[in-house]
Chains A and B, each alone.
Chain A
Amino acid sequence: MILKAFQEEGVTRVFGYPGGAILNLYDSLYDSSICHVLTRHEQGAVHAADGYARVSGKPGVVTATSGPGATNLVTGIANAYMDSVPMVVITGQVPTFLIGTDAFQEADITGITLPITKHNYLAKDVEELPRILKEAFHIATTGRCGPVLIDLPKDVQALEEKYNYPQEIDIAGYKPNVEGHPGQVNRAIKAIKNAKKPVIMAGGGVVRSGGYHELQEIATRGNIPVTLTLMGLGGFPASNHLYLGMPGMHGTRAANYALMEADLIIAVGVRFDDRVTGKLDAFAPRAKIIHIDIDPVEIGKNIAVDIPIVGDLKRVLQALSRRFQPGDTAEWLDKVNQWDKKVDLNPEPVDNKVIKPQQVINKINEITGGEAIIATDVGQHQMWTAQHYRFEKPRSFVSSGGLGTMGFGFPAALGAKLARPEETVFCIAGDGSFQMNIQELSTAVYYGIPVKVAIINNSCLGMVRQWQELFYNRRYSYSTFEYGPDFARIAEAFGAKGMKVDQFDQVEETIKTAMQEEGPVIMDFRVDSTENVFPMVAPNQPINNLMMDGSDV
């Protein structure tokens, strides 16, 4: 019955790992047309489903067993929740008559995931199951998307109920607001017309809602500069002359200065995260704020808003773009254009033996023309990717924004490649992060998923090391790896292609070779371990207080 519901919902692929309490579901998967991807760890499955969902826009579906199977999903569920990724998770549970007895492989997964799911269910009654499945997909994929978990006791799975999937849905407490309030839209139109120094700050909501054409229309017709948060990268083409780069802690001078000087911020699908705003009471002191978001909770949560618009971004932006009149921003654009919109790339090294990490990312960017799908892990390499890869297309940057999950990138890249096999998919990873889900090399090789992994290997936990250097008197407490594995040989042992690169002049050729390979490739770039991510705004500082190197700490 569950598989029939999957088919009804258009699910063609699920990611998972079997176990005792979910054997019945796996038995029906055995001869089903639904393709199941067996990862090598439940965390790999949930991140792969996450990557799949981010790139395809369809819900990622995950199956795992009870107890440890379910708890291994927790990080991945929290990750999807923080980044509003649509996902349906099915976990096996011990039979209903054993629930609450500390039975073998029993864990209260609905209790555990309560704060990290949009909603969850313990399906104790098979008659309720069709409705629960229908609701789960509906809730996961509408409004502000998010993960929904269904915990399914083994005896409930075993019952064959007459299949009756509901077509209608009515959840009394769940009615997301889609259309923006016309009165507020009018106020926004007026504010845009009167603004002298407007900035659009767009985030993940733009990518999720598919409102990027409308965003581009408003920006170009209104001559309004655009900054994209980490989650928004790709939502506006980096090559556009109005693009200012990313704002916040590792943002560009142009983005941060523009926000601080603006008289109007049009915030679209963002949540004013602390990594973006810096010191909250110093943020954008002169700006009126229009905040458009599907989730009313985000409006006024961190920052006071002048014009709140709750609704689906695509619809609201359509309404705005149809009717708004551009103000005069010529003078403002002149000013903004004087600030750096790009982060300086480290010059090519004098010594060929020293590879600067930014150069590796820059080469990947040059070779792929900003058109590849890039998944990352978390840390310095993630920020360098955000700064130096020039994303041209929406849904092409797959990264753990809210939760900041190391180990996310590689499995997510696998999911992304399965969702869009025609695209080139890179995973830019750190040597620390990659080791957190390195077992998924098996999955990549077994299914022949040709993801190109570029490990920015600096033999340390770079971002931790950077903070220790800048704020902890260079006391490098447990952040450096005196011993690191030979990733190329590990790749070979798993059956993938592995390449180790320690000369600058090999970088370009290696990337080109990797792209020609048919299977998965691991590139181990041995980079300068002393390199830091700049610009940087120290935590809880105003975002125009940019450090351009470590000298001003």
Chain B
Amino acid sequence: MKKILAVLVEDKPGVLSRVAGLFSRRGFNIDSIAVGETTEPGISRMTITVEEDSPTLEQVVKQLNKLINVIKISNITEDPAVSRELMLIKVQAEPQNRGEIQQIVETFRGKTVDVSPDSMVIEVTGDDEKLEAIKLLLQYYGIKEIVRTGKIAMVRGSKNSAGN
């Protein structure tokens, strides 16, 4: 099962490579990682999705905690949370298919952000399930390229996701 970690880190040079390097050298499986600033200057937040069982996850958390630049880690897998990911898909689109594709995009509340003579670029946001579903539908037309941001997540209600 996928686990989501909200990690507060100091915004220092090399912090991303410290975190990424830890995963690769300890053999932990990282599914996605997304980094961005927080409301507090000098502190960034990483949302890391990992596919690990519990004992390994415990090691992941402890090892991350050991990094000096890591301030706080919260496992928000079990918390009621909203999680989103943004995906850009470049799909093969001959003029006669554009209408159909546009309908799919609208069903998923996506947006067409670029059209060329034989392709379209579609932007869609959502959770895993939704992104997989639209991907499956668009495969029929031929997907040329996909870019995903990695998942970001936030706990519902007034509680801060990092546990503050």
Chain A interface residues toward B at CB < 8 A: 110-111, 114-115, 118-119, 122, 139, 171-174, 295-297, 300-301
Contacts and interface: CB of A to CB of B under 8 A. Distances in A.
Interface in B3-42: 9-10, 13-14, 17-18, 21, 25
A392 B17 CA distance: 44
A296 B65 contact: yes
A110 B12 CA distance: 13
B12 to A, nearest CB: 9
Interface stretch (B68-76, B77-85, B122-130, B149-157): B68-76
B70 A115 contact: no
B17 A111 contact: yes
18 contacts: A110-B14, A111-B14, A114-B17, A114-B21, A115-B21, A119-B68, A122-B14, A139-B68, A172-B71, A173-B9, A173-B68, A173-B71, A173-B72, A295-B66, A296-B62, A296-B65, A297-B63, A300-B55
B66 A297 contact: yes
A114 B12 CA distance: 14
B62 A297 contact: yes
Nearest to A176: B66
A110 B15 CA distance: 12
B59 interface: yes
Interface of B: 9-10, 13-14, 17-18, 21, 25, 55, 58-59, 62-63, 65-72
A115 B68 contact: no
B68 A171 contact: yes
Given A110-B14, A114-B17, A122-B13, A173 B67 contact: yes
A139 B71 CA distance: 15
Given A111-B14, A115-B25, 13 more contacts: A110-B14, A114-B14, A114-B17, A114-B18, A115-B21, A172-B71, A173-B9, A173-B71, A295-B66, A297-B59, A297-B62, A300-B55, A300-B58
Contacts of A295: 66
B20 to A, nearest CB: 10
Nearest to A115: B25
A184 B14 CA distance: 37
Contacts of B70: 173
A115 B62 CA distance: 16
B99 to A, nearest CB: 50
Contacts of A118: 68
A174 B71 CA distance: 8
Contacts of A122: 13-14
A300 B72 CA distance: 21
A174 B67 CA distance: 8
B16 to A, nearest CB: 12
A173 B42 CA distance: 13
Contacts of B55: 300
Contacts of B63: 297
A301 B10 contact: no
A111 B65 CA distance: 20
Nearest to A298: B62
Report which residue of B18, B58, B67, B68 has the largest number of chain A beta carbons within 10 angstroms of its beta carbon.
B68
Nearest to A114: B21
Nearest to B15: A173
B163 to A, nearest CB: 14
